[in-house]
Amino acid sequence: MAARIERSVGKDMPGISLPPAPDARRRLADGPGPRVVAPGRKLSWAWLGLLPFLLFALLFMILPASSIVIGSFQNEAGSFTLDNLANLFKPSILDSYLVTMKVSATTALLGGILGLLIAYAISIGGLPKSLKTFMSTFSGVASNFAGVPLAFAFIATLGRMGFLTVLLRTLFGFELYNTGFNLYSFWGLTLTYTYFQIPLMILIIEPALEGMKKEWREASESLGASSLQYWTRVGIPVLLPSILAALILLFGNAFGAYATAYALTGGLINIVPILIGAQIRGNVLHDPQLGYALAFGMVIVMTVSILFYSWLQKISSRWVK
């Protein structure tokens, strides 16, 4: 997954809206109206047109997702239990959640900060417009450049025989792998994920930066504010909800990522998606019930992130349109 969400996602996440009350519908039926708006009772029939899509979503998205929630409350015989969820608090499982959160938070911060600075540079930082076009296009590509090919690229760069590893050795006599660095562990995974996090951040935050009004800066300057004061008192407070929302998105993006980690480490790193994958594939520790609980934990993390994200989006939409 990746490049994807941008600002339109969850601008608001309204609940399910129902058709109008019966008497309202009758009133609609009497009034004149354009032909395409089905008047009167037909309104309820019009909902039938959504059936194919709704059915598909139910069968292949909602049912599978809910089966995980249900499965995490069942034992192998199918009766109710809380044991699976209790197992989530075993030290080894808790540890993998902690590692996953650490990787996700670090890549979100690293990618978020770098992405923000680059987005600033190309949007209001005074660079030529052609660079902005180039960087936006490139970000669209790079944020989708995840999974197996990305893992290969980082092996070629930072692996034991990688370009940068060898370059550091021959130019500076610096042995990267003597410092405890390993591409197949925490920092390797973090640097690799950051490759798709930076462009994702650029795509998400650039519109917010563009939306900052010139008048704000002019007004604060004419009132004698320095550049630092402008940013600390106006710029950053206005941007903060957008930035936080973007960081949450990056966090979720890294939290659910399986392909890159799988290709990079061969499934040997202790993060939640890899553990879930191992449960499905029936590798070591094969325990489907634990698999449900692990997946359930991830669904909770993702749901909380998305809710938090849409709340922040609502706040930021007050300023930046």
Partner 1 sequence: MKRRTWLSWLWFSVGMIYFFLPLFATFLFSLRGKKGVLSFVAYQNVFKDPTFLKTFGFSLEMALLTVLVGLILIVPTAIWIQLKVPKAKALFDVLTLMPFAVPPIILAFGLIRTYSRPPLALVSTPAILVAAYVVISFPYIYRSVDSGLRSMDLRGLSEAAQSLGAGWGSLLFRVVLPNLRTALLSATFLTLAIVIGELTLAVLLAWPAFGPYMALMGRNRAYEPAALAIMSFGLTWGAIGLIQLLTRSAKDKGSGIGAGGH
Chain residues 73-112 in contact with partner 1, contact rule CB under 8 A: none
- For residues 122-161, which are near partner 1 according to CB under 8 A? 122, 124-127, 131, 135-138, 140-142, 144-145, 147-157
Q: Which is nearer to partner 1, 119 or 320 (CB)?
A: 119
Residue 71 CB, nearest distance to partner 1 (Å)? 6
Report the 10 Å Cβ neighbour count for 154. Answer: 22
- For residues 232-261, which are near partner 1 according to CB under 8 A? 252, 255-259
Q: Residue 49 has which token pair?
A: 């047109």
**Are 155 and 185 contacting, i.e. CB atoms less than 8 angstroms apart?**
no
Q: Residue 42 has which token pair?
A: 């037909």
Contact between 283 and partner 1 by CB under 8 A: the answer reads no
Calculated CA dihedral for residues 301, 302, 306, 312, nearest 10 degrees? 40
Contact between 28 and partner 1 by CB under 8 A: the answer reads no
Which of 163, 175, 213, 218 forms a contact with partner 1 (CB under 8 A)?
Answer: 163
CB under 8 Å to 169, separation ≥6 — which residues?
A: 175, 176
Contact between 8 and partner 1 by CB under 8 A: the answer reads yes
Residue 215 CB, nearest distance to partner 1 (Å)? 15
Helix (H, G, I), strand (E, B) or coil at 270: coil
Query: Which backbone phi and psi does 74 adopt, to 5 degrees?
Result: -120, 150
Q: What angle do CA 96, 97, 100 make, to 5 degrees?
A: 85
Contact between 268 and partner 1 by CB under 8 A: the answer reads no
Which of 112, 188, 199, 241 forms a contact with partner 1 (CB under 8 A)?
Answer: 199
Contact between 282 and partner 1 by CB under 8 A: the answer reads no
Contact between 315 and partner 1 by CB under 8 A: the answer reads no
Quote the distance between the C-alpha of residue 245 and its chain's center.
10
Contact between 284 and partner 1 by CB under 8 A: the answer reads no
> Which of the ranges 23-31, 79-87, 173-181, 198-206 carries the binding residues for partner 1, by CB under 8 A?
198-206
- Residue pointed to by tokens 């590509």: 141
Cα separations in angstroms, 278 against 65, 153, 286: 19, 25, 7
- For residues 205-234, which are near partner 1 according to CB under 8 A? 227
> Which of the ranges 25-33, 99-107, 119-127, 236-244 carries the binding residues for partner 1, by CB under 8 A?
119-127
